[in-house]
């Protein structure tokens, strides 16, 4: 089975939910979150984690970059959305399809980078 590598920047609250479920699935969206948007490249995920998540005090002022694999055949039903420059590309997964999407994740969701307001730090749990 061919897979596609995706990335997702997360704050502390979402990371805690990933830890609770053993890094196997993304948590359900909140009512004000109609889509789940994994991004297509690490640089874009870093930009969000470093520049946005570290400024969110209610979410720990920390940003993590996660990486995971999804079945390419399944993912092909969703168009890639470009939301700025060409490096700002992501998938928009409707919240009601997140359980199905989670079922197409191959292997664990990995935390590969961590940012605080002071800069990048080592990932450790």
Number of domains in the chain: 1
Q: Are strands 80-82 and 93-94 parallel, antiparallel or unpaired?
A: unpaired
What pTM was estimated for this model as a whole?
Answer: 0.95
Distance between CA 110 and CA 48 in Å, rounded? 17
Q: Token pair of 120, please?
A: 């990048």
* Residue partners of 76: CB distance under 8 A and separation at least 6: none
| Full pLDDT tens readout for the chain, 125 residues | 899 999 999 999 999 999 999 999 999 998 899 999 999 999 999 999 999 999 999 889 999 999 999 999 999 999 999 998 889 999 999 999 999 999 999 999 999 999 999 999 999 87
Q: Which domain holds residue 21?
A: 3-121
């995706």: which residue's tokens? 6
Phi, psi dihedrals of residue 64, rounded to the nearest 5°:
-115, 150
């Amino acid at each position: 089975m061919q897979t596609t590598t995706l990335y997702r920047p997360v704050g502390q609250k979402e990371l805690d939910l990933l830890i609770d479920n053993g890094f196997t699935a993304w948590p359900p969206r909140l009512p004000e979150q109609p889509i789940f948007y994994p991004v297509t490249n690490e640089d874009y995920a870093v930009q969000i984690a470093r520049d946005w998540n570290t400024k969110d005090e209610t979410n720990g002022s920390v940003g993590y970059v996660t990486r995971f694999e999804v079945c390419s055949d399944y993912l092909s039903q969703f168009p890639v959305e470009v939301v700025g420059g060409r490096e700002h590309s992501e998938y928009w997964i409707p919240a009601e399809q997140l359980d199905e999407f989670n079922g197409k994740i191959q292997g664990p969701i990995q935390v590969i980078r961590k940012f605080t307001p002071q800069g990048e730090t080592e990932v450790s749990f």
